[in-house]
Amino acid sequence: MKQLPLDYGLAPVADLEHFLPDGNEAALAHVWQCVEQPPHEGVPTYLWGEAGCGKTHLLQAVAHALALQGESVGWLDASVTQPQGFNPAWQAVLLDDCHLLDERQQATAFNWFVNAQTPTQGLPRWVLAAGAVPPADLPVRDDLRTRLGWGQIHRLQVLADPERQRVLRLAAQRRGLHLSDEVLSFMVTRFSRDLGSLMQLLDHLDRYALGTQRAITIPLIKSMLENE
């Protein structure tokens, strides 16, 4: 069965409360603990796993949780073409998609890491990083690879189709939407199986259904693809 391409907008704000932990309980518990009581001994955390396992969701959720506490964070991923210098006001440093960072971004990540561990002001900051491969296999400079690999390391497992459908159903319910079993199966089997992409699809469907004043059905999804 051919999967349909998908590249729609931005996903809804990620949060820790709605991260389905099936198979990733230890990683989620560790992240929760660090958000509630940031580690000040300078020990970093590294999450890894294939696309769709929830790495970016967790990093975004941490940024959101800390923002609710009135804290700011440093964020770096491969899309940040003009990274800034380390800010002493940051509560944490978040490095996403470390396997995709170019030389300049790697230099920034190393600088942020060192300053987070040995800041000129205050206690050490938490470094939370993520990548598609274990730290030892990262195609980055040696000094950065070594630092990313010496702390807490957690591998994230990709959710199976039933769990993906459960996540989508819960996300839809949060929006006041109803998704039938047939619609959920269609979304999971016909589109990208990456959970982040599926959340983007749900966001787009929500807006399209609202604009057309129709319930989300398989014909509506097909109509959206034909019209947009």
Cβ atoms of residues 152 and 43 within 8 Å: yes
Q: What confidence tens digit (pLDDT) does each residue in 33-65 have?
A: 999 988 878 799 999 999 888 899 899 999 999
How far out from the chain centre does Cα 27 lie?
A: 13
DSSP E strand stretches across 68-108? 72-76, 90-95
3-state helix, strand, coil in the chain (%, to 5): 50, 10, 40
Q: Which of 77, 11, 67, 75 is nearest to 35 (CA)?
A: 67
User: Which has the minimum average pLDDT: 8-12, 20-24, 133-137, 169-173?
Assistant: 8-12
Mean pLDDT of the 67-96 span: 96
The third-level CATH classification (topology) of the domain covering 21-155 is: Rossmann fold (3.40.50)
Res 228 pLDDT > 80: no
**Amino acid (1-letter code) at residue 82:** Q
Q: What confidence tens digit (pLDDT) does each residue in 128-172 have?
A: 999 999 999 999 999 999 999 999 999 999 888 888 888 888 888
Res 10 pLDDT > 70: no
| pTM of the predicted model as reported, rounded to 2 decimal places | 0.78
Q: Which residue has the higher pLDDT, 110 or 204?
A: 110
The Cα 212–Cα 214 span in angstroms is 5
Q: Where are the domains of the chain?
A: 21-155, 161-227
Question: What pLDDT was estimated at residue 13?
Answer: 62
